[in-house]
A and B are shown apart, each in its own frame.
Chain A
Amino acid sequence: MDKMPKWADVVLIPLISLILAAALSALVILAIGEDPVAAVKLMVNGALGSTYGWGYTLYYATNFMFTGLAVAVAFHARMFNIGGEGQAMLGGLGVALMCLYIPWPHWSLALIGATGLAALFGAAWAAIPAWLQAKRGSHIVITTIMFNFIAAAVLNYVLVNLMRPKGSMDPATARFPGAVHLPTLHELLAPIGLNFSKAAPANVSLLVAVAACILVWLLIWRTRLGYEIRAYGHSETGALYAGISPVRITMIAMLISGGLAGMMAINNVMGEAERLVLNATEGAGFIGIAVALMGRSHPFGVFLAAILFGFLYQGGAELALWTTIPRELIVVIQALVILFTGALDNMVRMPLEKLFLALRKEKQA
């Protein structure tokens, strides 16, 4: 057996990567003349030190869970869906249509309706690249990223010309009616005696995201379809030999992926802004790629990685508020963490693997 123990793979490698990223970030902060220890304390405090901080961390994490799952599902079928951004934008359009034009009696029904249409819109946006890939062999990376731009243009047209309330200069829809207001964690936790911050935007869609994590796990590892998706991802010819249709799997995996990305809109559009703005997704679709990579495409890994990225976002916001660290450097710090945990994984993994092998050989000898 030439593998490391599982605990090293799951715990040790991400931990070392994080420490390396933190050390490099500290150097960056030192170089611009700020105190790195104070900065880290500020980030940890701002993101995790109060229910207010947790509320924002979990709000961002909810976005990243949806988009991370979307990328992860496509990964299992060996497809790289980088169109999460556009699919989430279209999902936002679906949520806005549902919330503005249907008089919902209760938020729970509105949530079901909005989730449905958001997923449908997101899936529809993924369906065209998927079909082009399955039938024509147009590479999915190219087509999905192009569809991000088309989605931005569609949203811009709709918001500037069709859905903008008269007299408003802001390219955004009107506010959704009060009946579709999703309960925030404050409102959810108050009845059981927990006092969660009122100002934070984390809301009931966090629970939907967690449910989505569990459902994706069930789908991938406990159903026949999930088996087919994984088989197709491991070997297309093998899957074909086993009677699995590549066209069918490509389409289904991408539809699920697009649907999950679209569902992100219930959090940012319905839960937070309560109206559709032009810049609603703000990169969460791309962060989803990093989240899925870091989470090894496993729903639980995605869950943890999403919380880490939520922490980085909220901690970064606190840094921007209370220090003079420019926002470009905050992005650098966030990027370092992504780089070390996602892209430079092998840099830590290979030496560690060798170390474990050497130790084992010594024991045997």
Chain B
Amino acid sequence: MTLMKSLMGAAAAIALSTGAALAEPALIFDLGGKFDKSFNEAAFNGAQRWADETGGSFREIELQSEAQREQALRRFAEAGANPIITMGFAMADPLSSVAPDYPDTKFVVVDVTWIEGDNIRQIGFAEHEGSYLVGMLAAMASKSGTVGFVGGMDVPLIRHFGCGYAQGVKAVNPDAKIIANMTGTTPAAWNDPVKGSELTKAQISQGADVVYAAAGGTGVGVLQTAADEGILSIGVDSNQNHLHPGKVLTSMLKRVDVAVYDAMKAGGDVETGVFVLGLAEDGVGYALDDNNAALISPEMKAAVDAAREQIIAGDLKVTSYYENDSCPVLDF
């Protein structure tokens, strides 16, 4: 018992020293991990950019288990971190129970738009709009009239990506065939490049000559196989055109990095509420740079940019998968 007491005493001393952090921002990565070449890494890049520019520092944690979600939120809030930025739809529920207990702390959550709370900045992205544009590009670049879609884990968010993509494809070529596959049903599906590669090969054997990967780390395998087999691929979240120059048609950009950067820049005064970033806000879009300039002809660019304008103006409506949990042009 005395051993226990002395242990506890030593421990308490450390607790005091570690708990004394000041109002730094904190960033909570989702289970995919910080370096997933995609969603979480984009957040890290945004945070790093802020740190480099301001010389500030931020706390971070890569979650390992579901029970840590609420734990990390509370621990950072108690340590005085502000704002606390969290990634992914799975934070919605823990956040809605934790946020009311810390009214002076601002919380930011990416990919969540439906919870209540005065001190929460909720950021959603209109992924279906960006996916629509890359779908159009895919259909215009395809010679076989068959295009592929490789999703990560089979969750509504990824169906949302696939649904926008399919609508874009059908808008250009109503007879196009879309082969959609999900990598898996467990979180491992976010980080399984080998399976991504196999799915791509299977889609190629069915005639696909453009494949869109919305699968986190799994997408690395999709892009690699597409480049090896001489077909085109489309990256996601970050600009992945540089991974295989001349082989990646484009990337569907989801500017998570900008969202995180802006939140950190605003610090404790960050504006709360619900923000949906679409084409109009440059929250989503398609990537055009030196690596894929030769693949996107002026006609393709003109057609996509026209569609972009129409969507922003409200003349063209891309149906969201969430509206009635189904997609008008694609069955999952």
Contacts and interface: CB of A to CB of B under 8 A. Distances in A.
Given A160-B156, A320-B62, A327-B33, A50 B15 contact: yes
Contacts of B89: 169-170
Contacts of A152: 185-186
B7 A49 contact: yes
Nearest to B187: A279
B2 interface: no
A56 B71 contact: yes
A171 to B, nearest CB: 5
A41 B187 contact: no
A199 interface: yes
Taking chain B's interface residues, is the majority helix, strand, or loop, or is none over half, making it mixed?
helix
Contacts, number: 118
Contacts of A19: none
Contact residues on B (Cβ < 8 Å of other chain), bracket: 35 or more
Interface stretch (A7-15, A102-110, A270-278, A349-357): A270-278
A18 to B, nearest CB: 15
B185 A169 contact: no
A59 interface: yes
Given A170-B92, A171-B156, A279-B187, A327 B12 contact: no
A167 interface: yes
Nearest to B111: A169
A3 interface: no
B24 to A, nearest CB: 12
A158 to B, nearest CB: 11
Nearest to A272: B67
B133 interface: no
Nearest to B159: A160
Given A45-B10, A48-B7, A56-B67, A279 B15 contact: no
Interface string B299-332: 0000000000000000000000010010000000
A199 B71 CA distance: 8
B64 interface: yes
A330 B67 contact: no
A170 B90 contact: yes
B31 interface: yes
B97 to A, nearest CB: 9
30 contacts: A41-B10, A41-B11, A44-B10, A46-B15, A48-B8, A48-B11, A49-B11, A49-B12, A59-B67, A60-B67, A153-B185, A156-B153, A157-B185, A164-B156, A169-B155, A169-B156, A169-B160, A169-B322, A170-B90, A172-B90, A273-B67, A273-B93, A280-B66, A282-B65, A317-B65, A317-B72, A320-B61, A326-B34, A326-B62, A331-B64
